[in-house]
Structure 1
Amino acid sequence: MSWLQTLKDYAEQHPIVVLRFGSDEWESLSNSRRGVGEFTVALPHALVSGVKAPAPCLLLGKDGEAEQVLFGLVSSRSPITTLDSRIKVTRSVVVAPSSVAGLSALICDAPHAKNFSSRVKDEQAVSLLSPKLSSYLIKRLATISSNNGSLRAVAEKLSVPKRFKGNTAMQEDAVQTALAAFGLGSSDQATSVELAEGRSTALGRVAIMEDSVVEHDARSVPGYSLIQSDVTGRALFKKGEDQLEVFTANRRELEHCFGVDLIYVNLTKQNVVMLQYKMLEPSSKSDDQTDWVYRPDGQLDAEIARMNAFAAAHPPGPKEYRLNPQVFYMKFVKRDASIGDGGIITPLDHFEKVRADPSFKGPKKGLRLSFKSLSGRYLRQTPFLDLVRCGYIGAHAQTTADLQVLIEAILDGNKAVVAAVQKKVGD
């Protein structure tokens, strides 16, 4: 498990922080907006002076007489007053054993056991484990299979890509785009997360509710039998009367795929839209300014043929209105640009006009695609998501039956898929 080694190595540089709470504090945290899964707390500077945020943490609390142990992440530490620091804890999930005594019994190596006992016996509000003990404790927690989802959620959060450098970053952006289309942000919590063992996915980095992440090898998604073996993760979000099911799928390892596509199906508005990510490469100009160029690869024509065939078979229904019935959109992002900077979004039919226009020709058979070259004729992320949300763009989608066909075609092209299905709760 590569994520486990990554987490162990990280804990040796940023040791585990043990935060202990009294019954009243724990009850207050449990009843807060995000519960004990995500919260902030003010602590004296002296207590947290050794904390290197972000750092893994153990939360020790009591629900009545019952002890609880959670594993999470101290994501930040910052001064807020002359005397106190603000600690933010995220991604905290219940782990086993559920008591200090149980943790002590789990640490079977004598030197580590003595070390652990000495650091938690005084019941201080904050304790810092040694680097070696931190790594060892994570190793021992991972021997309990039910803990792996919780541990992996923290490990994945520590490796969130910040810039567009490849498919991992594109998948991250696609998941966040799907959440934004549903009206959620990156900190909104999923009601459940399922991660396929040994398969990388951005869904390991979404916010989770307490005791809601599971790692398993089933990789099954009800209703999507054709792609069971390709699913790498699945997450469920709820908002009011609607729910959003997001899953990721790819046949090859993510870094070896030819790209990433996002498919968003809104069954409440009966529309389906697909966003295909394309990377823009820098091309220096003579005046030392940077031009941005997209170089179509050999897969593009085959992809466009598949997209046009699917769109032709799924026109809007007779009582539906669309500003544009186009299913397929392209999102062009600059290599090494920060994720969240947006990008240029164009419908497929607009892209084909640009591709045929000699004024867009760039070096080495590339296409110059920039805010300047398009002269304002493009979509930014926010208006694009508004159109998706209200059902003004996309083809007819009454059920998810045709989604399987589209996903299968994408996977056959050795691409990665992020699929999101919005529907009423209980449908």
Structure 2
Amino acid sequence: MTAIVVMNSEEVEIIRLGALPEPRFRPMPGSRKEAELEEAWEREMELLEEEDETEPSEDLPVESDGQFGGPVDHSFPKTVAAQQWRRTALDLALLAGRLGDRLMIFGIGTVHGGPRTRDPGVRRAEVRARYVLADPIDLDLVRSRLDAQNKRRFDETIAGPMRPMSPKLAKWVTDAVHALAPEVTDALRTSLRAAMDERAATARVRRQAVAVHEAMSSALHIFTPSWHKLEPEEAPSPSEWATALDITAGRASENDVITDDAGVFPGWDRDIYSVRGWWGFRWKDRRLLIKNINVSTVESATGADLVYVRRDPDTFVLVQYKLLERLKDGRLIFRPDGRLGSQVARMRALEGMHDTTAPDDDLITYRLGDGFTFVKFVEPVSARPGRAGELSPGFYVPSEYMRRWLLNPGTGPLGGTIYPVGEDRHLTSETFSRLVRDSWVGSTGDATTRLHEVFGIRDTTRDLVLAVDEPVAEFGS
């Protein structure tokens, strides 16, 4: 749906100029507003200097009414009739206003529905300006392109209450506007796409927040009627009863193990609360963030389930998790799952990008070896750490060692292919955490550059546990 929204003179000036004139206003000395005005003034002076140094070009846009057209972002609340706008409304808007003595279309925007007010039949909507036209369009010229019936409907729309046009009238009006200014069509498409993307992102955050809040509220109501008087406490170590219940509940999944390891990092103090799923850990002047994110294609790109990222200098450590079985004779084994070979190959491909040809005398960039990817084997019953603050017990094996290890399978009691675990060399969870913490292992050179591309510019790192370690100062501690 499309509407013609007539804005008042103040709203027109804010949208076109970005502010209303206030020559007598002086901000409080030393205030943030004074600093913002000074920065804006300096930017304006720099632009003027650049314009003075640049020769005029025929390719520059023609200035209209002292302003250039382009994207803007200004929102205005509007009181509308509830019968004309749904709460979920998201419609395009041709923004009109009086410029001089003419009523002109000067911008493009959207109308968002909102909640009802206390007054019956009244709703609070939001008009959002998203684009300003360089050359405003006279509404009389648009009207002149309509037939007699649509002219009457057009006049009723302009003079009456704010409401969407009918589909037929909207098509006639937009065709007329396109004939007068073809660039308006692209601005309408861009505005609608941006509004839909914003709505989708807001809806995802709202659904997640509501689900978490509802789950926590339900749990509190179940266990105590005085839940609102409770004080938050740091999560305690699991009791013997809880541990026994966890063991008897059945075989844990790989994600259970990853979630357990995401909640601890030995020697680091964890924050009491998580923020949107992120757990914060502190040690001296460093801060580590860990989050469990489900389902994405990033695992396909790296072959890993858990990623540790340190900063200054940047380095990555990747871990793939696998669950073990215990035979009746007590041996721990891994049964081929058809995926480990390719996962190891993808991790080793990243290790192959290690750039070790250039000499480096910096002590902090020295690594114990070139490898920075591992496979961790864990017993299902050991998914939960034995003591608070520890990683789940397991066997860490470097990927290159794992490649060779997979070439020598064993035979199970019934003749199937198995791989005994724990009989060969491996790193314990404690040793591994020390290597990561002290930067004895980690990517360098081209491998780090590639991993920056994989993790640094995407927001779809689901199906991974991502651990990021950065200086505390960057988080405004």
Larger RCO (CA under 8 A, 6+ residues apart): 1
Larger-Rg structure: 2
Q: Return the TM-score normalized by structure 2.
A: 0.42
**Larger strand proportion, structure 1 or 2?**
1
